[in-house]
Amino acid sequence: MRIRPFTLIAVAVALVAGAGAEASSTAARGVGFELKRTSISPQHPTFDAERKIRLHYGFAATHAVDLRIEVRRAKGDKLVRVYRERDARPGGRLARVWNGMTRHGGVADDGRYEFRVGPLGGAMKYAGRFRLRTHVFPVDGPHGTRGAIGEFGAPRSGGRVHEGFDIIADCGTPLLAARGGEVKKVGYDPVLYGYYVLIDGLKTSQDYFYSHLIAPPAVGRRDRVRTAQYVGRVGKTGNAASTPCHLHFEVRVHGDPVDPEPFLRAWDRHG
């Protein structure tokens, strides 16, 4: 059969015109997509924790499809991250890990997020909601404050000021890394801090300092630490011998101590 060049061009133009969004959504509608068995783990997802934030899901469809998976901020419905699963097969159990990073390479803020899943070009389905935390409260047990004397900026002997915030807890209470990162320094300072550990927070300009530990920290210099990882126990070493057992906690921004109390109160509320 002979086809005249003009006819060929017309066919090609028609094909290109039909390959837009309308064609793919028609295809998506045609697969009978249905989202099934969704769940999110762990129950309290935390940035850079040992357990990754994971959406588990399955779906029904007439054949394999390309899927779009979205992470959206619940407030304002802002798109935070998009994934594509090529040629996903219906019927099985699938999983998508989100590392807590935005599509612009920053750490997502604390708050509520949701997963959505749908066939590429088709309607997105709600797949579950969760609260992301970027930090945890560092004292893992009953705790309290020391009042004014334990606050940031309180006067200390020799004209010093208090560069951290004191959290009272029973000696031996586990201490958790408020934020993951790399251990910058561990040591023993008999004059002030006793046993201490300094952690350079991952993807933040903040360092986190834990002191008066009961014994040497459970992590060593250059160790990679995850958010909420056990790093030691509350004690009263250094100049804390005559005080109730407590954690002297500091947040340093580019090396300079800032008042950690607002952070601690926010992390504590999360429970």
Binding mask 204-243 for Zn ion (x = CB under 5 A): ----------------------------------------
Token readout for 100 is 């807590």
Q: Please select the residue that binds Zn ion; options are 115, 248, 257, 263, rule is CB under 5 A.
A: 248
Tell me how far, at minimum, the Cβ of 191 lies from Zn ion, in Å.
13
Q: Which stretch binds Zn ion (CB under 5 A): 12-20, 23-31, 221-229, 245-253?
A: 245-253
Binding mask 122-161 for Zn ion (x = CB under 5 A): ----------------------------------------
Helix (H) or strand (E) holding 13: helix 5-18
Looking at the Cβ atoms of 111 and 153, the one nearer to Zn ion is 153
Q: Which stretch binds Zn ion (CB under 5 A): 125-133, 136-144, 168-176, 246-254?
A: 246-254
Tell me how far, at minimum, the Cβ of 166 lies from Zn ion, in Å.
4
Query: Is the Cβ–Cβ distance between 218 and 183 less than 8 Å?
Result: no
Tell me how far, at minimum, the Cβ of 253 lies from Zn ion, in Å.
18
**C-alpha pair distances (Å), 22 with each of 82, 120, 268:** 21, 12, 49
Query: Is the Cβ–Cβ distance between 236 and 188 less than 8 Å?
Result: no
Helix (H) or strand (E) holding 252: strand 246-253
Distance, CA of 137 to CA of 117 (rounded, Å): 32
Instruction: Tell me the site size for Zn ion, rule CB under 5 A.
Output: 3
Token readout for 192 is 């002030």
- Name the 3-class secondary structure at 239: helix
- DSSP β-bridge partners for residue 56: 39, 95
Looking at the Cβ atoms of 48 and 166, the one nearer to Zn ion is 166
Q: Please select the residue that binds Zn ion; options are 114, 166, 200, 207, rule is CB under 5 A.
A: 166
Distance, CA of 223 to CA of 19 (rounded, Å): 52
Q: Which residue type is seen at 195?
A: Y
β strands within 24-173, DSSP E: 34-41, 53-60, 65-73, 79-88, 94-98, 111-119, 125-132, 144-145, 165-168
Tell me how far, at minimum, the Cβ of 250 lies from Zn ion, in Å.
8
Using CB under 5 A as the binding rule, whether residue 250 contacts Zn ion is answered as: no
Looking at the Cβ atoms of 166 and 207, the one nearer to Zn ion is 166
Q: Which residue type is seen at 20?
A: G
Looking at the Cβ atoms of 59 and 249, the one nearer to Zn ion is 249
Tell me how far, at minimum, the Cβ of 179 lies from Zn ion, in Å.
19
Distance, CA of 118 to CA of 105 (rounded, Å): 24
Tell me how far, at minimum, the Cβ of 164 lies from Zn ion, in Å.
5
Q: Minimal CB distance to Zn ion: which residue? A: 248
Tell me how far, at minimum, the Cβ of 248 lies from Zn ion, in Å.
3
Residues that bind Zn ion (CB under 5 A): 164, 166, 248
